[in-house]
Chain A
Amino acid sequence: MDPIDHILIVDDDREIRQMLADYLQKNGLRTSVAGDGREMRAALETTPVDLIVLDVMMPGDDGLVLCRNLRASKHRAIPVLMLTARDDATDRIVGLEMGADDYVVKPFSARELLARIKAVIRRTRMLPPNLQVTEASRMLAFGQWRLDTTARHLLDPQDTVVALSGAEFRLLRVFLDHPQRILSRDQLLNLTQGREAENFDRSIDLLVSRLRQRLMDDAREQTYIKTVRSEGYVFSVPVTLLGGDA
């Protein structure tokens, strides 16, 4: 991280936000803390912030509301990492739908949080997505397929759910976020690095061929993902955002 990144920690529990701040500072980050939405807005006005760590469960405006407001404000570009209390896929997703970039389930370890913070910053710096998936429009359509970004699965024209593995979903998401743009293997590897911090050692090529199979994309025809010799891959089909229930 070139300049020192500034992290704003918003949590109603004084001890937690203080301990987090201490830990992050010890690991070379700059931090500010806020106890609620009002303090968060005040902090945002005073100094530029590189990432906000936002607790979901807070009295008054909770984290989801704050995150949504943030996305509608001039600070919409600041990545948000949610601290959620419940470990359930539906709740996990809600945070992302509200515009959060990632989440960590409470209780978490500080080390885990730091890793996520770094991953989110790296991801957003490298390639900001050009389609903003929101609460209202969570379906990405391309070719004959639709990707449900909430449930993390594909839908074929007959509405059949075609499941994706975590790595496949992440790779597809990267392609869909940057359609018609050549992505190098290094970029793809960085962008798809599992947030689960799993030991992901498959090569991008293998993952691409798996995804092609999933999309029933013939490796020779290459309708969706085209190989660009010595450069990488390009997602060659236009992607559109569909409204809420589509």
Chain B
Amino acid sequence: MLASQIGYYSLVLGLFFSIFIISISIKNFNNNQIIDNRIFSLSFLQLLFVLISFIGLIISFINSDFSNVTVFNNSHTTKPLFYKISGTWGNHEGSLLLWLLVLTIFIFLFLVKSKKQPKKYRILTLLFQQIIIIGFFLFVLKTSNPFNYLFPIPSEGLGLNPILQDPILAIHPPILYLGYVGSSIIFSSSLAAVVLKYVSKEWAKHIKIWILIAWIFLTIGILLGSIWAYYELGWGGFWFWDPVENVSLMPWLCLTALLHCILVLEKKLILTSWVIILSISTFTLSMSGTFLVRSGILNSVHTFANDSERGIFILIFLFILIFISLIIFFFFHNEQKKIQSKINLFSKETAIIFNNWFMMYFLSVVLIGTVYPIFLDVLTGVKISVGPPFYHKLIIPFLIPFLIIMSIGPNLSWIKTNLKKINISLIFFFIISLVISFVILKKNNQSTLINTVLLFASLYLFFVTVRDFFNKNFKSYSQKIGHFGFSLLILSIFFNSLFSSEIIINLKVGEIYAFEKGIIKFKKVETFNIKNYKSIVGHFEIEDDKKNLIELKPEVRIYNQPVTITSEADIKTTLFSDKFLVMNVVKDHDFFNVRYQSKAFMIWIWISTLLLAVGGIFSLIRRLNEK
């Protein structure tokens, strides 16, 4: 109870600090040559108070203080300590407090780490960032106060949705938020740079670090969410083109485009407007994602109590931010006309422009697929959904040129490439990949044109990047790892979709089911009573087509608070395939609904995505050391 109150008042204090910071910054903006030290201390205090508030909420959760409405709605005394803590951000109010905390941490780090940048630029970035912070303070305090008081005090809470009680899901939101909020710094800083006409090579070099940070966290955050969905939701896939997944993919695509484009700006000081547009869009997409998910327009595990007031608040806030940024962009921005550089067709910058071109195409596919059903519903009341075939049809064919440009692009030089210098091995790999792809697919009777060409393109990128690792005079490890990771990702997704198989069947205990690729034996079920759920474990024995025996023990958990049934898939992972078994109870029947999947190269999908992030981390480390 005390913790809640301290939490609430420090949150209110935190808001007041925003006002102090803004007023001092405005005074400081024109007066002195150096930044007023009070700005640092106030920013630190603001961070401290938001942190206290957050810790206050965590303590309320640990103590199961049900006089706090948020705790009452989302916790329960029998819940393990770990999930009591992770429950803090597993709900709407708490997760917004976390947003706020990350916002204040990032702006403080920005202030501390940008000492070499011009004073006015730093202050202006701080001002823009404080506008966002105030918006979030008001949002939290007005519509989603995590410290609301409840009387009479209930003796027991309602509990956390059991499918959220999972170690990966405990860290998925904070990491994803670091990515989202990181994009807010890029947003503020690019607006500040536009106002002060500071869009320059130095700026590009400095903001690249923040782009990398946001990108790395966003990548890992999406990866974690995807792994969780794979084993917890029991569908046995890694990406479902669910609107909620799409809203995290959109800022990622935008940020990836920005990550490449900023290189061109850094080297040649062209594409400045484009970089600014991308910076603004990335943050706008992150915010819209929050709006769509939080407002309850999209239905998913991420949708907590639906409240239209919240949706409207975020929408208004979003419009204000977009409005401000558009005004700044049109009134202050003018492209530097001094350096008129010609862009040669065979140069790195052309390849990067192509990359951006494709990224924007992928982005618009995902955007339209996600938003169109919402608009149609609002305008006509017709309810539709857009499934995976839509995305596959539109994205897969365009991956082919994308992959090829990705292989060749990094081998071109800046400004102009002498075509004669292009290594003969590039052509050699071209032929090799074509042959291998044809042979693999012919053997498996899958040799349609699009399959062959797609496999060829990803193999080509694979070989070219592998070759470059052995090349003596190459510098950018990060780029190679990233591109290599991407080729591996496409290859594993490709093989995964080609060589995976699935059997769904209703079985009673003791039954045996034979299918063309093996035999499933349902040996027995065991029941256990665990602290906050009842566990039913099925014992299965699977014999695959090579006569290998595998024991799989999927579990069904019946949670008591709230009453919810979840399935815990049992997965045996090997380098080449995952054996995935999940069972569901059919209420009031003897049958269990059993789903057995053999998923080829599953682990490589995770590894390759991780490699993408590792590439980013390499680049980040190099950049930090350059300073």
The answer to whether A binds B is no
Which residues in A have some Cβ–Cβ distance to B below 8 Å? Answer: none
